Chains A and B, each alone.
Chain A
Amino acid sequence: MCLGVPGKIVSVDGDIATVDFWGVQRQVRLDVVDEPVLPGDYILNHVGYAIRRIPAEEIGATLALYEELLTHTEADQDLMAADVRAEIAGAGDDR
């Protein structure tokens, strides 16, 4: 519950954005995000809320950790990867 997960905004509808997380599209709320966001921007998602717009120059470094976690391990053997997957899987289940 401490580590946010970055995703790329596909579309924005009021306070809700559709966000792509490694090919999985989920809805994320924009109530507390620090700056206005547009499709193509990256945000940091935490429990279904964008807590920050990620500056473009930071995206590469930010994504590296998650790519390592998501591509090299099986979730059931790896707590940290499991938490990241749960953030992705859980967001916007209601859609």
Chain B
Amino acid sequence: MIANGVSELKFRDPARARALADALEQTVESIGREVAVMHVCGSHEQAIARFGLRAVLPKRLNVIMGPGCPVCITDVPEVDEGVALARQGVRLATYGDMLKVPGSMLSLNDAQAEGARIDIVYSVAQAVELARRIDEPLVFFATGFETTAVATAAAVLGDPPPNFFVLSAHKYIPPAMEIVAEMPDTRVEGFLAAGHAATITGWGVFEAFVDRHQLPVVVAGFEPLDILAGLVRLVELVRDGRPAVENMFPLCVTRAGNLRAQQQLWRVFKPIGGNWRGIAHVPNGNLRLRDEFAHLDARRRFDIDLESLWDFAPPALVRDCICGDIMAGIKSPTDCSLYGKACGPDSPVGACMVSSEGTCRIWHQYGGHPDLGGRRGAFCAR
């Protein structure tokens, strides 16, 4: 009886957790076949893995992490732009997660080892402050989904100093869900949307997606019980063949979202098509500065010399990396010949092992499908 395992996990309310796990089991049972659903958030995967939720999920329910790691889906040519700029002697500031992400030839970390100047910042606000203190140009290499892009937008609108520039690799999640839904071999029958990103966009943003693809979307929080409750509702919608958007995080997410943040986001950025690492070309998936802010755009201000990278041989192991298939939900980390062997947190081959929100890194730390009698059981006794 799978649900019995719940009492061994750390839940705020074990009785409620057990009831949710039972409901999930019964719903999947009534569907009578394998069901696959996808979430698109590194923090959801962290919570699922950390709290060992897969140990209490029905065997026939597959909860897949999609392209929800902003660092991971930053495309190789975008990393190359940052690396090339830094190697040209332009001072760069970026989030710490980006340092080890492989470009086609080099990572920012490699460039730094060669003497390039790269400042790690926690917030774009720190990059603006740094620019104020120095005389030379500072390029903020801006990565992340809409939750992070709104901060960059606010900084752009906040009258930054003239030596502050933005190299935007920001991404917008809703279009990537469309791509996954349209993949011919996709098994995904519903999406769990991330509560904090939906705080910005509102749950209404998913209505058009549901209409187009006839797949349900449930917005869920990050607490283990929130995730379980979200999964129960999502699987119920799959069972009933009822494509709809349901908000299971109502105190945090409204239909309209944070209008003030959206206003700044879309004033500064325009959505354009572009590749996401390993996924595909995602129409409207990339956020680029609008013409009004061309004077802040590093791509227009600097001649980025990508050819300078052509002298370097690509890392040999990269061709075996299946990070893209993992983010598309087609494969799991354990399907990869490098995972845990040639590729680990200390020497990551692919982006999924670099970021704390990457599927491989999360599974490497916590285990993907925990066995309550093994490592997970010991962890839970703490």
Contacts and interface: CB of A to CB of B under 8 A. Distances in A.
Contact size range, B:
35 or more
A35 to B, nearest CB: 9
Contacts of B145: 1-2
Given A1-B71, A2-B147, A48 B260 contact: no
Interface in B240-277: 251-252, 258-261, 264
B332 interface: no
B110 interface: no
A17 interface: no
Contacts of B41: 2
A32 B154 contact: yes
B158 A31 contact: yes
A57 B199 CA distance: 17
Given A34-B258, A34-B259, A90-B122, A55 B197 contact: no
Interface residues of A, number: 40
A2 B122 contact: no
Contacts of B200: 51
Nearest to B364: A79
Contact of A29 (B71, B125, B144, B362): B125
Interface in B139-177: 143-145, 147-148, 150-151, 153-154, 157-158
Interface stretch (B42-50, B179-187, B282-290): B42-50
Contacts of B54: none
B148 A47 contact: yes
B118 to A, nearest CB: 16
Contact of A1 (B70, B153, B264): B70
A51 B126 contact: no
A52 B252 contact: yes
Contact of B382 (A61, A72, A87): A72
Contacts of B153: 32
A13 interface: no
Contacts of A70: none
Contact of B258 (A1, A51, A58, A68): A51
B283 to A, nearest CB: 23
A33 interface: yes
A4 B251 contact: no
A52 B12 contact: no
A64 B250 CA distance: 17
B356 to A, nearest CB: 5
Contact of B196 (A2, A64, A72, A78): A2
A9 to B, nearest CB: 17
A65 interface: yes
Given A2-B197, A80-B46, A47 B222 contact: no
Interface of A: 1-4, 15, 29, 31-34, 44, 46-49, 51-52, 54-55, 57-58, 61-62, 64-65, 68, 72-73, 78-80, 82-83, 86-87, 89-91, 93-94
Given A1-B144, A31-B157, A48-B151, 16 more contacts: A1-B143, A2-B43, A2-B147, A46-B148, A47-B122, A47-B144, A48-B123, A49-B125, A61-B223, A64-B12, A65-B222, A68-B12, A82-B356, A86-B96, A91-B123, A93-B126
